[in-house]
Amino acid sequence: MSESLLEVRELHAGYGSIEVLRGISLHVAAGEIVSLIGSNGAGKSTTLMSISQVVEPWRGDVRFRGESIIGLRPDEVIRRGLVQVPEGRRVFPRMTVLENLTIGAFLRDDAAEIAQDLHKVYELFSVLKDRSSQYAGTLSGGEQQMLAIGRALMSKPRLLMMDEPSMGIAPILVTRIFSAIRQLNSEGLTVLLVEQNARAALGLSTRGYVLETGSVGFGGPSSELLSDPRIRSAYLGE
């Protein structure tokens, strides 16, 4: 296996006095797509938010590229190349598509490479180029998801964490977005994918973890999880 980009070790986190994560451990190797599946309330989004240090972990460790990132500010995590596409897209509705994409590069000062990356985003999602001067709030849900992904790509990530990219999106655009994830991975981008559509997530990923009420129940190669009776019964409706 390639070198590990991300290691999460016995991570505990929560909100107020409520513990949501109860000792999460997982790893993502360079070049992988790893999926994290589970039911609503299992702690999937909190896992990503804790990895990115938006939610402060209570204890445990998160190591990215061999170094602990516990205690860093979220912007410092982004500078290191660990970038998150949040659940619900969270684009800036009263800013244009181009302005939203430009914000994604706010920590960078390499103007020539920023221009190149903008061109790549437009190649990946041509609709964004066509609507570059349109307000983001007027886009469809699927187009906003493309914009959120494009904005994250403008940060030049080494590892992209994606939270429910298919949520509330028309099936034809879900297919387009998952195809884009596959293309980005083929070009060398490592992906940690949180997705309630277990079949789609495991069909796309190399490996998967199943989150059960704040802890990892089990994990393994995606092909094995797809054939596991527990997964088929609980998450695939079979």
Cα(119)–Cα(139) distance, rounded to whole angstroms?
Answer: 20
If one counts the domains in the chain, the total is 1
Cα(181)–Cα(1) distance, rounded to whole angstroms?
Answer: 21
Structural domain boundaries, residue 207: 4-234
CA angle, corner 233, sides to 88 and 31, nearest 5? Answer: 55
* Torsions phi, psi for 123 (to 5 deg): -70, -40
CATH number at residue 215: 3.40.50.300
Helix (H) or strand (E) holding 113: helix 111-124
Cα(184)–Cα(83) distance, rounded to whole angstroms?
Answer: 14
CA torsion sign for 32, 231, 8, 1 is: negative
Q: pLDDT tens, position by position, for the chain (238 residues)?
A: 457 899 999 999 999 999 999 999 999 999 999 999 988 888 999 999 999 999 999 999 999 999 999 999 999 999 999 999 988 778 999 999 999 999 999 998 899 999 999 999 999 999 999 999 999 999 998 899 999 999 999 999 999 999 998 888 888 888 899 999 999 999 999 999 998 888 889 999 999 999 988 889 889 999 999 998 888 887 776 5
